[in-house]
Amino acid sequence: MRILLVEDTRDVGEAISRRLEKVGHTVDWQTDGQAAADILDFTDYDLVILDVMLPGLDGFEILRHLRTGRKTTPVLVLTARSEIEDRVGALDLGADDYLVKPFDFRELEARVRVLLRRRAGDPTNLIECGDLVLDRNSRSVRVGNREVQLKRREITLLEVLATRPGRVFGKDELLDHLFGFEDGANQNAIELYIGRLRKKIEGSRVRIVTIRGLGYQLVADDAA
Amino acid sequence: MRRETSLFSRLVVRVALVLCGGATLLAVAAWYYARAAADDAYDRLLLGAAIQITANMTVDNGSLAVALPTSAFELLGLAERDRIFYRVIGPDMRTLTGYEDLQTDLDLTSARAAPVFLSARYRDVPVRIVVAARALSDPSFSGWSYVVLAQTTEARRALAGELTSRAMILVGIMSLLALAGTVLAIRYSLLPVSALGAALRARDPQDLTPVNVDVPRELRPFTASINHFMGRLDERVTLLQRFIADAAHQIRTPLTALSAQVDMLDEDEMDEIGRRHLGRVRKRVGQLARLTNQLLSHAMVIHRSDSVRFKPVDLTDVARKAFRAAIPVTVDPDIVISFEAAPQPIVVLGDAVSLREAIANIIDNSLRHGTVSHLAVRVLGSNGRARVEVEDDGPGIPPSEWSNVTARFVTSKTGEGSMGLGFAIAAEVASAHQGAIGFQKRGERGFTVVLDLPEYVEGAR
């Protein structure tokens, strides 16, 4: 994926681009706000990481410029506390997420992953099954008023089960859905994810049933 | 033990001393006058008796005869317990009748002009003596004869004592009335002092605005000094807060750079010891980053609490944003984290940014120090109250420390390290919104932190 990083602190910019390049992304790193805005005019990126305090044009200006150009590129804003204070509307301006400096670099990487996936997949947002509502955008499953946060693979797993309630899915089949052809995954991982999912949908009338020797199925109990 | 000084007791003691002195003086005066009055009254009786005796002196055949008149003694008998001594002296200075040893130092001739009274002792008792003289001018017998009449003083003393004690009762009653009046007056005059004290005590410790209590003129220099002091303290606190915010702000950039550098260190090229040290450095950098963020957040909510106008905000919306911001994507996947919105919209009058900071800090605290496997955030509204509950399944904070944790930098005993400023920020925001931070414990596992705020009702103030 192609990422534009706009950050004028050398140490920080270097660390972010190194980290993202390590997981396989292409990172263009700009230190000047005006230059970054110019580049955005004729280049499409999969993600923009924006520092707010920049020489030339500040991060909010770049963001406004980008959004008035009707571009939907996800934007992750790096900001300081005092700057949010002045611009409450960082998110309202069209940023998809923000991180407050100083931040944890693993968290940055995780959020980048989430933003990129959201763009790539563009999945249907809501999947309903019994009294469960699966919301891919907020990465959560809803039972009544209660929203429980899910991890990516948990969402995928629940999605697979929920699209065909009642059908029994074998462990191998689920493994394929979850990990594709990645190495290192084994059937124990499926048990782990099923266990976590069960905990997270507790209180719902929908249950994950183990069919010994065959696999798992999603069963929606009727209210009656 | 140091004695506590009190204006009230000082005044009461002094007034009481003055009243005691006055009463003593009055008592002495009353005693004096009572004695004079008693003497005066009984002296008249004594004189009357003496005159009757002198009137009954007759010259018979050239010799002096005295018939002691019973009426004279009846007169004196009015003083029942007193004894009477008499002596009649003839012109030749011989005792005619009576007690010969009833002597006086008086020159008897001085009684010729008018009867003379004197106090003396006779037979070891105090007596009052009158000496009356009579000139006898009979052709056969002429010259001055005298009557010395003495009476013990018991009746006089009794009368004087009675008069004095009655006077003393009056003096006492008056003194008590005066003292009671003084006590009431002092109490009343000191009321503004305790009112001022109560007003100061009732103040929020954060409130450094001038004292605005009606006080009498005499107390004004005092309130003026308090206000002057408050003003200086306020300036100082503001300065200090700005300093802390500036310092934290300055620290932030190098700190971000530092954590960037630490992040770039390659663990694979390190040996076991190097990796262990790197792990510790990462952890400490993380702590430092968190504290710096909290300092800035704290400075921000304080600044906003007196500079931002409150607006109606949707608490569910604010709480959801805080929830998103506070739960890291990298959180342990085995923790069940849920958010529960109220079915109806819940609106509070406040500052969305501060409220989000408060809620995010509560969630962050719970995640770091409480949560074992469950964390639930709920937004509820009922009876005009809006509540955000953050519940985890950790051991929680023992009730004995509930009042402390909203103070700054309290170290939790159950968890490790400092809980930092999280609760202090939340408490600050809560009180700026006329709300409070509360705690609930549910059994062994289950601890809830509640941000309780007044719900905003349109039209109401």
- State the average pLDDT over residues B160-187: 91
Residues B302 and B314 in one domain: no
Q: Provide the pLDDT for residue B84.
A: 87
Q: Which CATH class for the A126-220 domain?
A: mainly alpha
Q: Provide the pLDDT for residue B412.
A: 47
Q: Provide the pLDDT for residue B460.
A: 53
Partnered with residue A79 across adjacent β-strands are: A100
- Measured between alpha carbons, how far apart are the two ends of chain A, in Å? 50
Identity of the residue numbered B54? T
A209 touches chain B (CB under 8 A): no
The whole-chain average pLDDT of chain B stands at: 84
Show which of B307, B338, B361 is a domain's final residue: B307
Residues B242 and B359 in one domain: no
At B125-134, the pLDDT tens digits run: 889 899 988 8
Question: Parallel, antiparallel, or unpaired: how do β-strands A26-30 and A2-6 relate?
Answer: parallel
Please tell me the distance in Å from B328's CA to the nearest CA on chain A: 7
How many H-runs (helices) and E-runs (strands) does chain A carry? 8, 11
Q: Give the Cα separation of A145 and A17 in Å (integer).
A: 40
Q: Provide the pLDDT for residue B170.
A: 92
Q: Provide the pLDDT for residue B262.
A: 87
The reply to whether residue B256 touches residue A103, judged by beta carbons under 8 angstroms, is yes
CATH match for A2-121 among 2.40.30.20, 3.40.50.2300, 3.20.20.70, 3.40.50.720: 3.40.50.2300
At B73-87, the pLDDT tens digits run: 887 887 778 888 888
Q: Provide the pLDDT for residue B451.
A: 92
pLDDT band at B415 (very low <50, low <70, confident <90, very high): very low
- State the average pLDDT over residues A166-171: 85
Residue B284 belongs to domain with CATH number: 1.10.287.130
Which residues of B are less than 8 Å from A101 in CB distance? 252-253, 256
Q: Is residue B182 part of a domain?
A: no
Show which of B253, B281, B307 is a domain's final residue: B307
- Least confident stretch, A85-99, A179-193, B76-90: A85-99
Residue A25 scores a pLDDT above 90: no
Instruction: For residue B316, give the chain A residue with the closest CA.
Output: A145
Residue B17 scores a pLDDT above 90: yes
At B334-356, the pLDDT tens digits run: 888 999 888 888 999 988 888 98
Residue B392 belongs to domain with CATH number: 3.30.565.10
A82 touches chain B (CB under 8 A): yes
Q: How many domains does chain B have?
A: 3
Q: Is residue B284 part of a domain?
A: yes
Which residues of A are less than 8 Å from B333 in CB distance? 151, 154, 196
Choosing among B256, B266, B354, which should be mutated to test the A contact, i.e. which has the most A CBs within 10 A?
Answer: B256
Considering B76-85, B139-148, B174-183, B449-458, the range whose residues carry the highest mean pLDDT is B174-183
Q: Is residue B353 part of a domain?
A: yes
Residue A224 scores a pLDDT above 50: no
SS3 A24: coil
Residue B64 belongs to domain with CATH number: 3.30.450
Please tell me the distance in Å from B388's CA to the nearest CA on chain A: 14
Range of the structural domain that residue B406 is part of: 308-461
Class of residue A4 by CB neighbours under 10 A (exposed 0-12, middle 13-18, buried 19+): buried
Q: Is residue B354 part of a domain?
A: yes
Residues B251 and B371 in one domain: no
Residue B416 scores a pLDDT above 50: no
Residues B418 and B351 in one domain: yes
Cite the residue boundaries of each domain of chain A with CATH code 3.40.50.2300: 2-121
SS3 A104: coil
Residue A142 scores a pLDDT above 80: yes
Q: Is residue B176 part of a domain?
A: no
A141 touches chain B (CB under 8 A): no
Residues B423 and B342 in one domain: yes
Residues B139 and B152 in one domain: yes
pTM of the model: 0.63
Facing residue for A18 by CB, picked from B264, B288, B296: B264
HEC secondary structure over chain B: CCCCCCHHHHHHHHHHHHHHHHHHHHHHHHHHHHHHHHHHHHHHHHHHHHHHHHHCEEEECCEEEECCCHHHHHHHCCCCCCCEEEEEECCCCCEEEECCCCCCCCCHHHHCCCCEEEEEEECCEEEEEEEEEEEEECCCCEEEEEEEEEEECHHHHHHHHHHHHHHHHHHHHHHHHHHHHHHHHHHHHHHHHHHHHHHHHCCCCCCCCCCCCCCCHHHHHHHHHHHHHHHHHHHHHHHHHHHHHHHHHHHHHHHHHHHHHHHHCCHHHCCHHHHHHHHHHHHHHHHHHHHHHHHHHHHHHHHHHCCCCCEEEEHHHHHHHHHHHHCCCCCCCCCEEEEECCCCCCEEEECHHHHHHHHHHHHHHHHHHHCCCEEEEEEEEECCEEEEEEEECCCCCCHHHCCCCCCCCCECCCCCCECCCHHHHHHHHHHHCCCEEEEEECCCCCEEEEEEEECCCCCCC
Residue A85 scores a pLDDT above 60: no
- State the average pLDDT over residues A111-134: 75
Complex confidence, ipTM: 0.76
- Least confident stretch, A1-10, A32-41, A90-99, A116-125: A116-125
Cis peptide before A102 (omega within 30 of 0): yes
Which residues of B are less than 8 Å from A140 in CB distance? 339
Residue B184 scores a pLDDT above 90: yes
Cite the residue boundaries of each domain of chain A with CATH code 1.10.10.10: 126-220
Q: Is residue B340 part of a domain?
A: yes
Q: Provide the pLDDT for residue B413.
A: 46
Residues B244 and B277 in one domain: yes
Residues B28 and B128 in one domain: yes
A149 touches chain B (CB under 8 A): yes
- Least confident stretch, A48-57, B12-21, B63-72, B223-232: B63-72
Considering B128-137, B168-177, B251-260, the range whose residues carry the highest mean pLDDT is B168-177
The reply to whether residue A82 touches residue B328, judged by beta carbons under 8 angstroms, is no
| Residue reference for tokens 């999280």 | B422
Q: Is residue B451 part of a domain?
A: yes
Residue B180 scores a pLDDT above 90: yes
At B387-405, the pLDDT tens digits run: 999 998 888 888 887 777 7
A140 touches chain B (CB under 8 A): yes
Show which of B130, B161, B192 is a domain's final residue: B161
The reply to whether residue A107 touches residue B333, judged by beta carbons under 8 angstroms, is no
Residues B52 and B143 in one domain: yes
